[in-house]
Amino acid sequence: MTNEEEFSPSALGTKEHWDAVYSRELSSFKEYGDEGEIWFGEGSMARVIRWLNAHKVPQTASILDIGTGNGMLLVELANSGYCNLTGIDYCSDAVQLAKSICEKEGVSQNVHLQVTDFLEDFHPSKLFDICLDKGTFDAVSLDPTGATEKREQYVQSLSRALKPQGLFIITSCNWTKEELLRQFGGEFEFKDELPTPTFSFGGKAGHSVTAVVLEKRSSS
């Protein structure tokens, strides 16, 4: 994808869609103990945690997972020793599911979860060291009611949530590294790219998922 305007608005960009998804996933968890979908697979969580460990990010760092869904990334972080974790989602059933999974996994004391629309009403009392996104900016990018404006709101909310020089680690299946740098480049600078699996087609190799680390400029 080279031109952001080529994205077609989709149900995946609506709250109604995610409410329906997590209503089903919450029922399924209650009935069968099934935690539901892990977006981009287990490897996508392991990659983020490996990067944090390799860069010696303190386990007490304040970490926000934006659009946490079932909260499994937070569970994995807590199981790896990170203890200052927050997850938000605008879908109340997602937050209920994430809370239930955290309780089951015995990590609730390290994870704060809250129902919040990141674009509309997220005003944290303390700034975060690190913000994570796995699939949420992708969903926002498909909003049928004005995706370009929503993406701008996302960048503003992110900038308000992070400390100067705070890190943003985003995993996306819709955007390339270059496109992400264009979206966030005003207030953030490129720090690193996480290795993601490649696929080959017609003799060309490509990535199905992009994962990059951006750093908030100190002047923003």
Neighbours of 129 (CB within 10 A): 18
Q: Is 91 in the site for ligand SAM (CB under 6 A)?
A: yes
x/- letters, 61..80, toward ligand SAM (CB under 6 A): ------xxxx--x-------
x/- letters, 36..55, toward ligand SAM (CB under 6 A): --xx----------------
113 beta partners? 87
Q: 3-state class of 9 per DSSP?
A: coil
Q: Is 151 in the site for ligand SAM (CB under 6 A)?
A: no
The nearer residue to ligand SAM, 110 or 136, going by C-beta atoms, is 136
Q: Is 117 in the site for ligand SAM (CB under 6 A)?
A: yes
Nearest approach, Cβ of 138 to ligand SAM (angstroms)? 6
CA dist., res. 52 & res. 142, Å (int):
29
For the chain, the straight-line distance linking the first and the last C-alpha, in angstroms and rounded, comes to 28
Q: Is 128 in the site for ligand SAM (CB under 6 A)?
A: no
Instruction: Please report how many Cα atoms fall inside a 13 Å half-sphere around the Cα of residue 31, on the Cβ side.
Output: 7
**CA-based R_g, the chain, Å:** 17
Nearest approach, Cβ of 139 to ligand SAM (angstroms)? 4
